[in-house]
Amino acid sequence: MSLEVHVDWQGESHLVGRLDAAERSAPVSFEYAAEWLQRPYAFAMDPTSLPLQRGVQHGKSLFGAIQDCGPDRWGRVLIERAVRKKVMAQKPYRGNLTTPLDVSQRDGCDFQWVGKGCLDPGEPALCSLSLTMCLLMHSNLVIGCLSILGMAAGLGVTLAAEPARSQGLSARSNHWAFQPLKPGTPPQPRDAAWARNPIDSFVLHRLEQEPLPPAPESGRATWLRRVTLDLTGLPPEPQALDAFLADVRTDAHERAVDELLRSPHYGERWAQHWLDVVRYADTEGFEFNSERPHAWPYRDYVIQAFNQHVPYDRFIREQIVGDLLGQDAATGFLVAASFLPPGQVGKDEPSKRLARQDALDEIVVNLGSTFLGLSAGCARCHDHKSDPISQRDYFRFQALVAGVEYDDRDLRTPEAEALRKEASELKGRIAGFEMRLAQLVPMAQPGSETVRRPAVHARMNVDRLSPVRARKLRFTVRATNSLEPCIDELEVFNPAGDNIALATSGARVTSSGDTAVADRHELCRIHDGHYGNSYSWRSNEKGRGWVIVEFADEHVVDRVFWGRDREGKLSDRLATDYLIEVAGESGGWQTVADATDRKPYVPGQPAETAFATAGLGATETAEAGRILEERKQLEARLKTREVGSKVFAGKFRKPDRIHFLSRGDPEQPQDEVIPAGLGILGGSELAVDSGDGDRRKALADFIASPSNPLTARVMANRIWQRHF
């Protein structure tokens, strides 16, 4: 069976090649037509946009992998479209083309030349010698292909260079928006006396062309209300209105505007416009929509920048490389947009590569749309359909931000450093209070019928033990309030107050099984010294599971702390029935605590804290109450200190190596690209091994350059949009 591929181009029908798939289980080969090969520039066109001649829709592609380089990649795209539409030379084929073909055998598609005279000495060919050999590996036309291969070698065929841009891209670069800025003079309207400033001249000149008369001048009170709402988002104060109406000076309007620009509400209002542009959010989005508790420093930076009237070129640079300019929070711009949180990314390598590409794409999209007014992300899979951005331009531009990661990090300011120091001191004092409180909670009495202890609590539970020597401790979950049990930290203390279960203390852990998701819930999280769901262990069995902690040496153990989520955000997957056992050097497990002497867990009922005072004497109750109150105050102070010392502004590291991706697919990498600005705007190139700081600085210089015509035009349009 032979299938010819024709396209309509420049008003005529052109034969591109012939598909040969005659027998079941036979390799598929595609032959380029001599006529098509005589047009090397044809391969610069997008094969997905060439109109196929005739045919009917067929939803299933018939081809597997084809070498993804040069004309073979181009041909594959066209072939798959052609087969789906069953384009025939004479009429649409109405049979089932999938029947005689065995997909499992089609692991390659062979390219060769059709006809004679398509290659002349000195003319570049579309396949190199080594590439042709690679394509012949599965050919059933070896003899014919080898003769063509010999002819190509004898003629000294060379590999054609891929054009940097198609003719369409070049034509789009002539659009006025990409031309250099030129000084201009306001037009001269016929009623020149009406215009009070250059903007009035432009407006009136346009109205006169329609022709339309200008609207009547508004009253002074109306004017002040409009400009106040414009600049601050608030109506004018009565006192401000009275003062303006009483001001008879000729520059009263200018004075009113200057006063509004000095208002702190000006920065708040215009920061809102900017944050909308950059897609700022306090949450991650998606179905979980988890909070970004440290995103606000970037918001406050933007407000401050508008109120301080920071020059726009510096405003740009600070948001891209502010960590090097003393404005650390400003780089929150780079990660302001959405991305897939780590917990929603699969653990397999392809999923990780795709998530990383999606994250980098969000940064590129935000840079392009915010500063340049370009939808750069459209060039991720192919040359842009309307803007003069090639796919290669896209990946070179992406390489400039390849060292940026989405994450919280310490805010590098003197104020934040002071807050972190105070937070560390507060944590130490809180830990001391917890140790003192642990001495006051009732002793665990496993198997007891007397209920002396509070019900389990999602945030933290304390099991106070009779001192016992142990080399190992086993925590067994026998029931939960829902799903698989989850424990964020299992802490085991000796009488001196040392947590001997920490990995840093030499302890090792084993479990009944784990349900790890991306970068969380691994077994190692249960003794890493961090709290919260992101640092928790999860069993792989619904309602049950166990963990064994083996200490570096035998120790005396007298307390065990554990919880579902010490941050207090989650209460599902809580162990409601459990057993704690220890074993010494000689082996043999001994039960030291369980849930039998605790109150029953009741879903939806407010639970007592781990340090409930029920069962204590009057003196112990008074002391515990005083300590609990001090601890509560310390925790409130700690929360404010921790929030003020971090920022969601991205982490900077050694840049990834960025490759040209066929169709934007991370699983189809081609050659490595160098970091560079968009070619249409004259972006400079950097070395492939340049560091993150150098790349982002070059990016900031490229966007903020006075010779970049888009940056000023885009911002002028934004200002015009918000005012008029």
Percentage of residues of the chain with pLDDT beyond 70: 65
How much is the pLDDT for 397?
94
Instruction: Give dist(CA 689, CA 655) in Å, integer.
Output: 8
Instruction: Give dist(CA 659, CA 666) in Å, integer.
Output: 9
- Is 372's pLDDT higher than 70? yes
- Is 241's pLDDT higher than 80? yes
From the list 190, 227, 234, the residue with the least C-alpha distance to 212 is: 190
Mean pLDDT computed over 575-582 = 94
Residues 6 or more apart whose Cβ sits within 8 Å of residue 69: 131, 670
Residue of 328 and 479 predicted with greater confidence:
479
How much is the pLDDT for 237?
95
- How many angstroms from the chain centroid is the CA of residue 606? 38
How much is the pLDDT for 37?
62
Mean pLDDT computed over 395-421 = 80
Tens-place pLDDT, residues 52-71: 554 322 333 333 333 333 45
- Is 48's pLDDT higher than 50? yes
Mean pLDDT computed over 443-455 = 82
- Is 589's pLDDT higher than 70? yes
Buried b / exposed e along 421-453 (16+ C-beta atoms within 10 A): ebbeebeeebeebbeebbebbbebbbeeeebbb
Residue of 120 and 413 predicted with greater confidence:
413
- Is 94's pLDDT higher than 50? no
Q: Are strands 12-20 and 404-405 parallel, antiparallel or unpaired?
A: unpaired
Instruction: Give dist(CA 444, CA 446) in Å, integer.
Output: 6
Instruction: Give dist(CA 220, CA 212) in Å, integer.
Output: 24
| Residue at token pair 């067994």 | 476
CB 438 within 8 A of CB 558: no
Tens-place pLDDT, residues 116-155: 333 333 333 332 222 222 222 222 222 223 223 332 333 2
Mean pLDDT computed over 260-289 = 89
Residue type, 317: R
Tens-place pLDDT, residues 521-548: 888 888 888 888 888 999 999 999 999 9
Mean pLDDT computed over 630-645 = 62
Please report, for residues 235, 244, 644, the alpha-carbon distance to residue 239 in angstroms, rounded to integers and kept in the order given: 12, 9, 37
Return the SS3 of 55: coil
Residue of 660 and 460 predicted with greater confidence:
660
| Backbone φ, ψ for residue 192 (5° rounding) | -60, -25
Tens-place pLDDT, residues 456-483: 988 888 898 989 999 999 999 999 998 9
Instruction: Output DSSP code: residue 681.
Output: G
